[in-house]
Amino acid sequence: MNSYRQPGIVLTDRRFTVPLDHDDPGGETIEIFGREAVAAGRPSEGLPWLVYLEGGPGFGARRFVGAEAWLGRAVREFRVLLLDQRGTGLSTPANRQTLPKRGGPREQADYLAHFRSDSIVRDCELIRPRLTGGAPWTVLGQSFGGFCAVHYLSAAPEGLEAVLITGGLPSLDAHADEVYRAAYPRIERKVAAHYARYPQDVARARAVAAYLAEHRPDSAGHTLTPEGFQSLGIMLGSGSGSHQLHYLLENAFVEGPHGAELSDTFQEAMRTSTSFAGHPLYALMHEVIYGQGAMPTDWSAERVRAEFPQFDVNAALAGDGPVLFTGESIHPWHFAVDPALRPLRETAELLAARTDWPVLYDAERLAANEVPVAAAVYHDDMYVDTGHALRTASAIRGLRTWVTSEYEHDGVRAGGPHVLDRLLALVRGEADR
């Protein structure tokens, strides 16, 4: 183990060996990385543990600098494990460079079938006794991390002292199609709010989309397309995202010798914002996190989008309506334009066609839950449907909700100490809803 200091905090790097397939404990293993964080001056104290599960899927745990944001509040009373879920961060990676070691697309898809919340929770249950001596710990789950926490409540509640969820209460039984049918109207509302705030962006967005439709420029091997431009709407789900999108659009064009052209500044910003090089599992696994039972996900976001023709960029450009941005959705074309995903297109197709997904949530066990649970539910959250979240909240015995419009989906980062304080007070019965 390697320990080092940052302002107000002591960090220790930890690595754990776990089975790839928990049903085959003597088979292949992978490595899971976690970073322990404890307040300076308290490393030798017997503090209770809190494990943080990041959103995604496909993102490693956030890299904090010192005791900042919610982490500073957490280390006042916990020893925190910032877990890189399997395949992310410093855990055994899964990407275009490493997956070919598995074999062809079929072998890669079979491998990735072990990278959902059920396997992540079983990783946690192997790691927990090694750190806590067998004592239960508190879980803080952000977004997809909250999905993992709800599975944890279904599968291994004995390992949990308390559960804190921020923007991550999944539907217990909705197919991916239902998730996206609920998502596109929310996205449309966020786009309308953005254009109401920055009406000048309506013309700017049309101009950018029209330019990309005609030229389709290449930026470091990444083909920039109108659909890729629309996907910048994912920014609208965070507290400052509308403003960031506006500043991006105001730099879109420069005057070259042949007239207006997309600036290098904009093209680079769009490429880095839409590339999956740093988190390919997000693209590969995003829809299959909803897979339960025999029904395939089958590129759900793409199919359901056809039910909302107002998002068709070509139709918008042919008429005089605004170009609508999209949000948190993955489409087949992602695997054609992004060099980090192109080699994985067939693997993604096989995952989308898969029909043997285990059921993730046990409704009866959740209805009998005895673990203290509190969840921040963000009003009109762009990424997780509020209606779905509240139905799930009512299905988990004893869960206390805090419904707020003060924050967007990134509330635990934007207002971390306040959000964590509120959830801890709720699970301890120290605050009203």
Q: Which of 258, 356, 405, 432 is catalytic?
A: 356
DSSP three-state, residue 97: coil
Is residue 90 within 8 Å of residue 33, measured between CB atoms?
A: yes
Q: How far is CA 349 from each of CA 298, 331, 345, 352, rounded to the nearest angstrom?
A: 8, 11, 6, 5
Give ∠ CA 125-127-130 in degrees, rounded to 5. 115
Torsion of CA 21, 83, 299, 230, to 10 degrees: -160
Is 13 a residue of the active site? no
Sequence-distant (6+) residues with CB within 8 A of 68 are none
DSSP codes joined into one string, 219-248? ETTEEP-HHHHHGGGGGGGSTTHHHHHHHH
DSSP codes joined into one string, 345-371? HHHHHHHHH---BPP---HHHHHT--S
Q: Which of 238, 381, 409, 410 is catalytic?
A: 409
Is 258 a residue of the active site? no
Sequence-distant (6+) residues with CB within 8 A of 243 are none
Is residue 407 within 8 Å of residue 377, measured between CB atoms?
A: no
Furthest-apart CA atoms within the chain: distance in Å: 70
Is 231 a residue of the active site? no
Q: Which of 91, 119, 143, 238 is catalytic?
A: 143
Distance from C-alpha of 6 to C-alpha of 12, rounded to nearest angstrom: 11
Sequence-distant (6+) residues with CB within 8 A of 364 are none
Distance from C-alpha of 239 to C-alpha of 274, rounded to nearest angstrom: 19
Chain Cα centroid distance, residue 272 = 17
Beta strands in 72-221 (DSSP E): 79-84, 137-142, 160-166, 218-219
Distance from C-alpha of 208 to C-alpha of 323, rounded to nearest angstrom: 10
Q: How far is CA 334 from each of CA 12, 40, 210, 246, 329, rounded to the nearest angstrom?
A: 37, 44, 19, 23, 10
Q: Which two three-digit tokens encode residue 109? A: 């898809």
Residue in the block written with tokens 């019965």: 429
Q: Which residues are catalytic?
A: 143, 356, 409
